Structure 1
Amino acid sequence: MIDKDKNKKKIRMGIVGYGNLGKACEKIALSDENIELVGIFSRRSGVKSNFRTKVYLQDDVFKFDMDVVLLCVGSQSDLQDTAARIATKFNTIDSFDTHAEMAKHIDRMSKIAFDNDRLCFVGVGWDPGLFSLVRALFYGVIPNSKCQTFWGKGVSQGHSEAIRRIKGVVNAKQYTIPKESALQLVREGVDRDLTPREKHLRECYVVVEKNADKEEIERKIVNMPNYFAQYDTIVHFVDEKYFDEHCSGLEHGGFVLANGIFDDFKSKAEFSLKLESNPTFTAGVLVAYAKALAKEYENGQRGVKTILDVPIA
């Protein structure tokens, strides 16, 4: 009897970016017998993998043949341009999480994908991503419902990376904290959309270079569009010893809550996520959907899709 799995073609994957997310994707891909991890592609020279995966410079990606490339670079400044470049040759998947820029990212990637006979999945993480699926489900099954989303308490990789990009910053972690008063209002059935400032606090721990202008760095953080400007934001400047001792975790989580009234009957639904490692969970979502992407491309699908466009089973 022929073992079909032995004859099954492995999915050839590449990973662009080798921070926390890229490393987590590497571990998951290596554990999957249906995946052949071709290599890691990093902007930094001299990078080595603890798992003996081949690591190349990012520009070398075009020398290879791969079914799908996972884009694991920061949303704030790298991802959109990197995606546009890589998608000229490869099918790509990303976890782009700047909600305010998502429509623009989709439009840009759609043109590139169709022009180059590619299929690209965008915004596939846990929000946007898994939480998007949950909101769609709640809106679909609860008549006249209103959904509200809370993140945290936990480390936001994208916001932390955005702070680290500021001149004079050595290291940074940003913790997203849901406000208990807002959570309580939603659980009690408040019938209006709460503002970002009402719902969340953003707390930042920042290590800076010696003689760095802390006032200027704080000003840039709290006024950063799409990241901090619309939130209450607290900035703590700490030394490296404090940072290493108190800011080493990568935990995160969140809630999607729905309330609806139909025919005088109330319905409530709540989905929660509690993660010890934000990048590990996000990587799990990325790799799972990268496998789906490879299959859909083989079946003739082209263009751009979000997680809502991909059958869940």
Structure 2
Amino acid sequence: MDPIRLGIVGFGKVGKACAETLLHSKDLSLAGIVRRSESLTLPLAEAFRKVPVVTHMAALPRAEGALLCVPAAQVAGAARDCLQHGIPVIESSVLHGEAFCAYRETIHRLALHHEVPAIVGAGWDPGGLSILRSLFALLVPQGGIEETHRIADSLHHIAMVRQVVGVKAALCTEHRTSSGRRQRYVYVELEPGVDGDRVAAAIRADPLFLGDDTVVFPVESVAALEQGRGLVLERRSAPGSVAHQRLLFEARFDEVWTTAWMMLAAARALPGLRPGAYTLLDLPVRDLWGTQADQAVRAWL
């Protein structure tokens, strides 16, 4: 079976992680990279020198899918554009709950109209973490789940802050206060002469930060602050349940690479999908392994 040829739209951290993984994959291959016209002349690492770089997915020959690795605010537009050209998409949107369901329905209608599949919310959260939440709920049907996001960088929020004029680099972290209120700490490295108060106001006004207690800190170097992401996921059985159960998952990880690997796992499921929009919960786990499915069964069952 020939490798699935994938194009990468956007070449930030997640895009680069996807590209690096594709170079060493046996069942997936890198068809090309889609960048903004003003970024076409920017140099690429030696490993990507022979990879086609274009301004639109339609310009990549024989591409069988698009990995959308653009900032959160641009995902919907990029998805529509690819679907209109008959190109299946895999994306890692940051939406949750009713907002995610409404977005998925919109993409579903577009995918049906253009007769191609789309996989939405295929990153870390929603995505891999959604699978873990669902599995915990299946194992403990009656109970509650608690999540503690330890101080660490927030991928989608970082991408948004970096688009604010005057921001050279950024790091966004989140944690819960003792009362349960979420706080976001935003560390920004500013260009010379930039007004920090203006930047802070622009960040707080963005929809991604509305409703959160956001504190903005200008710093000399963001690189010195960067760290991995942390999570504790716990589900306890409800009082009075037949059996008392407690499940605990604790992790520390790099969200960039976790997102990239989840998107590539989703891409392996593309060949068997009919037109429409899917989440990871809609896909058989076996399909996420692609050609490695039989090996996964032997290893994990």
Q: Give the TM-score band, short-chain normalised.
A: 0.7 to 0.9
CA contact (8 A) 2:57 2:82 kept: no
- C-alpha distance 84-250 of structure 1, shift in aligned 2 (>3 A): farther
CA contact (8 A) 1:256 1:272 kept: yes
* 1:265 positional shift: 4.3
Secondary structure of the equivalent of 1:258? Answer: strand
In 1, the alpha carbon distance for the partners of 2:57 and 2:83 equals 14
Secondary structure of the equivalent of 1:220? Answer: helix
Deviation string, structure 1 residues 260-311 (Cα, Å, up to 9, x no partner): 2243643221222211x221121111111111223x23xxx22000011011
Deviation string, structure 1 residues 167-189 (Cα, Å, up to 9, x no partner): 3322211122355x47xxxxxxx
- Counterpart among 78, 81, 84 of residue 77 in structure 2: 81
Which residue of structure 1 lines up, in the alignment, with residue 219 of structure 2? 238
- Counterpart among 231, 251, 269 of residue 273 in structure 1: 251
Structure 2 length as normaliser, TM-score?
0.85
Correspondence 1:45 to 2:18: no
- Counterpart among 182, 191, 216 of residue 209 in structure 1: 191
Which residue of structure 2 lines up, in the alignment, with residue 112 of structure 1? 110
Further displaced range: 283-292 or 255-264: 255-264
Correspondence 1:91 to 2:56: no
Which residue of structure 1 lines up, in the alignment, with residue 289 of structure 2? none
Runs of 4+ in 1 over 4 A off after TM superposition: none
For residues 23-38 of structure 1, what are the structure 2 equivalents within 5 Å? 23-38=16-31
Structure 1 length as normaliser, TM-score?
0.82
- Counterpart among 151, 160, 163 of residue 161 in structure 2: 163
For residues 286-305 of structure 1, what are the structure 2 equivalents within 5 Å? 286-294=263-271, 296-297=272-273, 301-305=274-278
- C-alpha distance 35-273 of structure 1, shift in aligned 2 (>3 A): same
* 1:123 positional shift: 0.4
RMSD: 2.1
Q: How many residues are matched?
A: 279
Which residue of structure 2 lines up, in the alignment, with residue 282 of structure 1? 259
Correspondence 1:67 to 2:64: yes
In 1, the alpha carbon distance for the partners of 2:242 and 2:40 equals 63
Secondary structure of the equivalent of 1:202? Answer: strand
CA contact (8 A) 1:205 1:235 kept: yes
Counterpart code for 1:83: A
In 2, the alpha carbon distance for the partners of 1:291 and 1:60 equals 19
Secondary structure of the equivalent of 1:282? Answer: helix
CA contact (8 A) 1:176 1:200 kept: yes
In 2, the alpha carbon distance for the partners of 1:140 and 1:112 equals 32
Counterpart code for 1:175: T
Further displaced range: 121-130 or 199-208: 199-208
Which residue of structure 2 lines up, in the alignment, with residue 309 of structure 1? 282
Correspondence 1:251 to 2:248: no
In 1, the alpha carbon distance for the partners of 2:43 and 2:94 equals 27
CA contact (8 A) 2:7 2:57 kept: no
Deviation string, structure 1 residues 71-121 (Cα, Å, up to 9, x no partner): 11111x211101111122211101111326322321221111101110100
Counterpart code for 1:87: L
Secondary structure of the equivalent of 1:154? Answer: coil
Deviation string, structure 1 residues 200-250 (Cα, Å, up to 9, x no partner): 33111112233333223212323433x3232232211123xx233x13x35
Which residue of structure 1 lines up, in the alignment, with residue 297 of structure 2? none
Correspondence 1:260 to 2:243: no
Counterpart code for 1:208: L
Q: Which runs of 5+ in 1 are unaligned?
A: 1-7, 183-197
Counterpart code for 2:263: L
Counterpart code for 2:118: C
In 2, the alpha carbon distance for the partners of 1:265 and 1:33 equals 45
In 1, the alpha carbon distance for the partners of 2:28 and 2:53 equals 19
Which residue of structure 2 lines up, in the alignment, with residue 4 of structure 1? none
* 1:54 positional shift: 1.6
Secondary structure of the equivalent of 1:243? Answer: coil
Residue identity over aligned pairs, in percent, reads 25
* 1:127 positional shift: 0.9
